[in-house]
Structure 1
């Protein structure tokens, strides 16, 4: 059996109140008595259950989530999951605040991180942009003892504590394998529609996709990446231009959230179902396009799992506890129209 505070009190010959003062580093204990308690703790091998202690004390965890604004369907779904977590706040002992910033705006994100720092939360979860000012803002938070989890898009090389998201290189490689196999011997180049190369998840997906297309389907031409800023109108214009410039276009890999514009361009050009499309994230729009055959395959990440993971990790870091890696691994789901989960997105 694990030793308890009662065992410590008996070993040291002191009261439970004295043990509590020593464990919580409160005054009112003579040095010789404190030494006895600490020696008993070492002798018994006592390890304090910080989470249980905080539960007993009714500790709450103020957390801040920083997310991009705009009409990105996946991000709005992610935000909905954060808001759902606020409903569970009483049970999870959290106080969650959401800050939104313009998408792909590194300076605005750095300022939001600075605002979060001023509020002194227990932890911050942020959809990251890889930029020096953002990395510096994360470091300032960590230097002040505030835990940071990157959400969906990582910031490797920074001082962040944990990344709650999928392996995006693996996701890109999966997309490349699907694209190459679906196209088979069909001729024509493949286009890549990204949101922005400022975010690590899009760059990692591109890296994985290009590696598989090069190594396994090397005769297939890849067109230069176009960036739609995850804006439906801009994505529609860019895809329409690609179709006009390349009448033999065989496939499109949509890395980001421009799927509404992509689908609109394909339908207007009469190319829906004839150009192979592999895209990301299951939303109401992408579900409909998958069912209609405009999109051939979707790679999805569970936004709810990511939010719950971020909360668990931030609370664990605030308590100085270890993170259970297997519990926090976010899987990559592959959906075809044949295996779509039932219900609305």
Structure 2
């Protein structure tokens, strides 16, 4: 199983493994164009489209900032592509700022989010990567809970706290436990020669608000 940035060196390593008879399953972020057997993860374009539908509907017209971890990650790029597609087609009255890269680091993400507040008329933020503790710190410092709508990814301790205190409005979750179980089952089937019988379906996208936290 491989979780990696989209890079020619990684592709070549996967291709070499495949030639040696090693089945490779990509997890979370796909590497199309490589010899990987299967991808296990959510439809990241759909996740980005979902974020756009939420922010486009519930933010007053203005600026919406986008913070990515790294655009070298295909899952982050696909989320951004889905987001932009819906915003431009359905909510043209909003201006998109970014994407700024926080490299999934709390301090860098806090700095990136702080930069967004230099833009007048900021009404929403889409954090499509990690670094969520930095996002929350920047929001709390400016006391904008309830005035700037925020969509983030992955139900973690930090995003759970953000939902509970109102810093984050919606979390888009990819069910990591389900992903790992599906990846193990897919890899086991491939190792046993049942590769064609076990193409993992996309993992369902979960949406969490403060009201439905489990």
TM-score (norm 1): 0.60
CA contact (8 A) 2:97 2:116 kept: no
Report the counterpart of residue 100 of structure 2 in structure 1. Answer: 226
Give me the whole-angstrom Cα distance separating, in 2, the residues matched to 1:272 and 1:258: 18
- SS of 2:204's equivalent in the other structure is coil
Q: Choose the corresponding residue for 1:319, options 161, 168, 192.
A: 192
- Return the offset for 1:247: 3.3
Q: Give the aligned partner of residue 268 of structure 1.
A: 141
- Is 1:303 aligned to 2:179, yes or no? no
Deviation at 1:182, TM superposition (A): 1.2
Q: Distance in 2 between matches of 1:167 and 1:241?
A: 29
Question: Does the CA contact (< 8 Å) of 2:27 and 2:183 recur in 1?
Answer: yes
User: In the aligned structure 1, how far is the partner of 2:186 from the partner of 2:31?
Assistant: 16
For residues 196-215 of structure 1, the C-alpha deviation after alignment (integer angstroms, 9 at most, x for no partner) is 00000000000000000001
Residue of structure 2 aligned with 1:251, choices 124, 132, 135:
124
Give matches, 1:142-221, under 5 Å.
142-183=18-59, 186-221=60-95
The answer to whether the Cα contact below 8 Å between 1:173 and 1:205 also exists between their aligned partners in 2 is: yes
- Separation (CA, whole Å) in 2 of partners of 1:193 and 1:265: 13
TM-superposed deviation, 1:128: 2.1
Q: Per the alignment, in what secondary structure is the counterpart of residue 203 of structure 1?
A: helix
Secondary structure of the residue aligned to 1:334 is strand
Task: Note the alpha carbon deviations across 1:114-155, whole angstroms, 9 max, x for none.
Answer: xxxxxxxxxxx0112111111111000001000101111110
Tell whether the 8 Å contact from 1:172 to 1:208 is kept in structure 2 after alignment: yes
| Contact map agreement 1:313 1:323 (CA 8 A) in 2 | no
Q: How many equivalent residue pairs?
A: 213
What is the alpha-carbon distance in structure 1 between the residues aligned to residue 31 and residue 164 of structure 2? 35
Within 5 Å, give how 1:1-345 maps onto structure 2: 125-183=1-59, 186-243=60-117, 245-321=118-194, 322-325=196-199, 328-341=201-214
Quote how far apart the aligned CAs of 1:282 are: 0.2
3-state SS of the aligned residue for 2:24? strand
Measured in 2, the distance between the counterparts of 1:242 and 1:211 equals 21
Q: Which has the higher contact order (CA 8 A, sep 6+)?
A: 2
- 1:173/1:208 contact within 8 Å kept: yes
State the shift of 1:176 in Å: 0.5
Segments of structure 1 that go 5 or more residues without pairing to the other structure are 1-124
Cα distance in 2 for residues equivalent to 1:201 and 1:220: 24
| Structure having the higher Rg | 1
Question: SS in structure 2 opposite 1:277?
Answer: strand
What does the per-residue CA deviation read over 1:229-249, in whole Å, with 9 as the maximum and x for residues that have no partner? 000011111111211x21321
